[in-house]
Every structure is written in structure tokens, then in C-alpha cells.
Amino acid sequence: FGMETALRRAIERGQMRLTYQPIVDLATGQLVAFESLARWRGEDGTEHSPNDFIPVAEESGLIVPLGRWAIQEAAATLAEWDARLGGDCGAKLAVNLSAIQLQRDAIAPVVQSALAAHGLDGSRFTLELTESALVTDPDRIAGIMHALKDLGTTIAMDDFGTGYSNLAYLQKLPIDVLKIDRSFVTGMLSDRDKIAIVRAILSLAQALGMQTTAEGIETNELAQTLAALGCTYGQGYLYARPLEADAAYAMLAERL
Ligand code: G
Ligand code: G
Ligand code: MN
Ligand code: NA
């Protein structure tokens, strides 16, 4: 309850912020996107982890205003980067959407108005959904995904392989990218089971015409192996930790 009150206040007072973790094309090393990750520094200076405050936001309903803020903030940031660089800054921004948020809010109109407010094309956004979003009401989620696709956005399945992998939905839904969960990537070079799972996800994605992003890449050897296996994109501490907005912008400006 204490955290809920503090979180409500932080959202109302504009004390939340987004950090941005780069996503690169594994074949070329080019920066192609950033995943936006919410951060909350409490009044006493403590950094709260989203692993702690997102569940509180979901249970309390605060995920609705928090989620709307994240979408608007991501659009505002992208528009600012474009303006400073005098055109399309060349990176997409990915925003995480939680399953509860999709149940409680009309996300497609929220995304549409955030894009419109900043004159952004839908193709500049990726929405990351988890498999758990599909469990309770798959038909409704399918409708939401199609509405998001109609806006021109990219849809990524986050944490792929860790949820209820009902493979029947994969082919029915407009999913563009599978994000291979970090738990399969970390240590895969010395673990036959992990590398077998990664290969299976890559060939499944290829068969279904989807792209792939490997999470949690911490070494060059992992990046090279994943590139050789045909994984499209990579994300992880090898490239950068989640960056404050000014550091993310600096990376973008330097690479252009
Ligand atoms: O850095 P990391 O600790 O940033 O994130 C931990 C988890 O919190 C990840 O699973 C991530 O998807 C989730 N998360 C981070 N930011 C957001 C957000 O804005 N919305 C939602 N729904 N989840 C987020
Ligand atoms: O579930 P989601 O993919 O949205 O979570 C992203 C989380 O993974 C964030 O907490 C982020 O800080 C963390 N993360 C990103 N890259 C790495 C990495 O290379 N190693 C580790 N250990 N964590 C990472
Ligand atoms: Mn994510
Ligand atoms: Na993930």
C-alpha cells in the first residue's frame, strides 16, 4: 500500500522517466532502435526496479496512467530527437505494454493520439507484448494487435519462450518480431539445451516470416554466434545498458 501511494504521487508529479536501451542489427552492427524502460527514483533517492513497481501498478490500476504516460513520453522523445537531428532520427522506439494494461485501457487510440500529437509515423513505434497477454482473452488481444498494425506500428512478442507458448496463435497474429528471452541467451554457448531452444525459436520465426531480437547479449562471441545463426537484432550490455535520454541521443547523433 505504501508503494502504491508513492507511485500514484510520482506519476501525478511527473517524476517517472524513461531510459533507452539500444537494439542493433546483428549483421551490420547498426543501431536500429531503442527499447524504452520506465524508471522511478523515489523521494529518498532510491531507484525502484520496474520488476517491483510494474506489478504494483498492475494490481492498483495505476498501469493505465503509467502506460499512457510512457507512450506519450516515448513519442515526445522521438519527436525531440528528430527535431534536433533535422529529420527522421533513424531509430524506432519500443514501448512495453503489459497484459493488464491491455485489458484495462484502449491502447490503439492512445498510441494513435500520441503519434498524431507529435506528427510521427506509426512505423516509428514498436509495441512489445508478452505471451501472457494472450492467455485471458486471445480474441480481444488479436483485435488490439490488428488495430496497432493498422497504425503502421511493429509488434514484438517479448520474453518469447517463457510463457504459454501456444504455437497456434503465432501464425494467426500479426507479430513482426520474436524477442528471445535473456534466460535462453545467457550461457547458451556452454549449454546444449539453451542453444537448442534458441535455434528452435530462430527457425520457427524464419518459417513464419518473423524477425528476431536476442536479449541479454553481453559478449562479442554471443553476438557473432547469434548473427551466424540468423538472428536479426541484438540487445544487451555489450552494446549498452538502458541509457538516460541525453546519453541515448548522444549515441544516435554519433552514429549518424
Ligand atoms: O530494466 P529492466 O529492469 O528495465 O525492466 C524490467 C522489466 O520491467 C522488463 O520486463 C520490462 O519489460 C518491464 N518494464 C520496464 N518498463 C516498462 C514499462 O514502461 N511498461 C511495462 N509494462 N513494463 C515495463
Ligand atoms: O523483459 P524486458 O525484456 O522488457 O526486460 C529488459 C530487462 O533486461 C531490463 O531490466 C534490462 O535492464 C535487462 N537487461 C538488458 N540487457 C541485459 C543484459 O545484457 N544483461 C542483463 N543481465 N540484463 C539485461
Ligand atoms: Mn521488453
Ligand atoms: Na524481455
DSSP string, 94-159: EEEE-HHHHHHS-HHHHHHHHHHHTT--GGGEEEEEETTHHHH-HHHHHHHHHHHHHTT-EEEEEE
Output the CA 14–ligand 1 centroid distance in Å. Answer: 18
Higher pLDDT, 231 or 163: 231
| Ligand in closest contact with the CA of 67 | 1
Q: Which domains are seen in the chain, by residue range?
A: 2-255 (3.20.20.450)
Strand duo 211-214 + 154-160: pairing: unpaired
Q: Is the CB of 73 under 6 A from ligand 2?
A: no
Output the CA 96–ligand 3 centroid distance in Å. Answer: 5
pLDDT of res. 218:
98
pLDDT of res. 199:
98
Instruction: Spell out which residues line ligand 1, taking CB within 6 angstroms.
Output: 37-38, 49-51, 54, 70, 96-98, 242
Q: Is the CB of 215 under 6 A from ligand 2?
A: yes
pLDDT of 243-255, one tens digit each? 999 999 999 999 8
Largest Cα–Cα separation, the chain: 50
150: cell is: 493498422
The minimum-distance atom of ligand 2 relative to the CA of 51 is 10
Question: Which of the four pLDDT bands, split at 50, 70 and 90, describes residue 80?
Answer: very high
Q: Is the CB of 105 under 6 A from ligand 2?
A: no
Q: Is the CB of 242 under 6 A from ligand 2?
A: yes
Question: Which of the four pLDDT bands, split at 50, 70 and 90, describes residue 1?
Answer: low
pLDDT of res. 131:
85
Residue of 54, 60, 95, 213 to mutate, ligand 1, most atoms within 8 A of C-beta: 54
pLDDT of 193-210, one tens digit each? 999 999 999 999 999 999
The minimum-distance atom of ligand 2 relative to the CA of 237 is 19
Residue identifier of the C-alpha nearest atom 12 of ligand 2: 242
pLDDT of res. 169:
81
The minimum-distance atom of ligand 2 relative to the CA of 130 is 1
| Ligand in closest contact with the CA of 19 | 1
For residues 249 and 240, what is the distance between their CA atoms, to the nearest angstrom? 13
Question: Which of the four pLDDT bands, split at 50, 70 and 90, describes residue 168?
Answer: confident
ipTM attached to this prediction: 0.96
pTM above 0.90, yes or no: yes
pLDDT of res. 138:
85
The amino acid sitting at 189 is: L
Of the listed ranges 135-144, 226-235, 243-252, the least confidently predicted one is 135-144
For residues 143 and 225, what is the distance between their CA atoms, to the nearest angstrom? 37
Mean pLDDT of 95-122: 97
Torsion, Cα 165 169 171 177, to 10 degrees, reads -60
For residues 110 and 37, what is the distance between their CA atoms, to the nearest angstrom? 18
pLDDT of 18-56, one tens digit each? 999 999 999 999 999 999 999 999 989 999 999 999 999
The minimum-distance atom of ligand 2 relative to the CA of 49 is 10
